[in-house]
Amino acid sequence: MLFLWLYMFYSCAGSCATRGSPVAREEGNPEEQRGHPPLPAAAASPISSFFNGSGTKRLPQAIIIGVKKGGTRALLEFLRVHPDVRAVGAEPHFFDRNYERGLAWYRDLMPRTLEGQITMEKTPSYFVTKEAPARISSMSKGTKLIVVVRDPVTRAISDYTQTLSKKPDIPTFESLTFKNRTTGLIDTSWSAIQIGIYAKHLENWLLYFPIGQILFVSGERLISDPAGELGRVQDFLGLKRIITDKHFYFNKTKGFPCLKKAEGSSKPHCLGKTKGRTHPDIDQEVVQRLRDFYRPFNMKFYQMTGQDFGWD
Ligand-binding annotation for 123, yes or no, is no
CB 214 within 8 A of CB 147: yes
User: Which residues are CB-neighbours of 251 under 8 A, at least 6 positions away?
Assistant: 257, 258, 270
Distances (CA, A) of 103 to 4, 83, 173: 38, 26, 39
289 is in an annotated binding site: no
Judge whether 228 is annotated as a binding position. no
Helix (H) / strand (E) element for 175: namely helix 173-177
Alpha carbons 133 and 120: distance in angstroms, whole number: 16
Taking the C-alpha atoms of residue 209 and residue 304, their distance in angstroms, rounded to an integer, is: 13
Give the CA distances from residue 286 to residues 92, 158, 174, 281, in Å, rounded to whole numbers and listed in that order.
Answer: 35, 15, 7, 11
Q: Is 182 annotated as a binding residue?
A: no
What is the distance between the alpha carbons of residues 162 and 279, in angstroms, rounded to a whole number? 9
Q: Was 73 annotated as part of a binding site?
A: yes
Cβ(235)–Cβ(241) below 8 Å = yes
Q: Is 253 annotated as a binding residue?
A: no
According to the annotation, is 276 in a ligand binding site? yes
**CA angle in degrees (0–180, nearest 5) for 274-159-154:** 105
- State yes or no: 158 annotated in a binding site: yes
Q: Is 36 annotated in some ligand binding site?
A: no
Q: In whole angstroms, what is the distance from residue 262 CA to residue 268 CA?
A: 6
* Catalytic residue list contains 69: yes
User: 20 among the known binding-site residues?
Assistant: no
Is there a binding annotation on residue 150?
yes
At 259, is the secondary structure helix, strand, or coil?
Answer: strand
Packing angle between helix 284-305 and helix 198-205, nearest 10 degrees?
30
DSSP-assigned letter for residue 218: E
Q: Per the residue annotation, which of 57, 68, 69, 122 is the catalytic one?
A: 69
> Does residue 295 have a known ligand-binding role?
no
What is the spatial distance between Cα 232 and Cα 99, in angstroms, rounded to a whole number?
A: 31
Residue positions forming the annotated binding site: 69-73, 150, 158, 275-279
Q: What residues are designated binding site for 3'-phosphoadenylyl sulfate?
A: 69-73, 150, 158, 275-279
Return the active site residues: 69
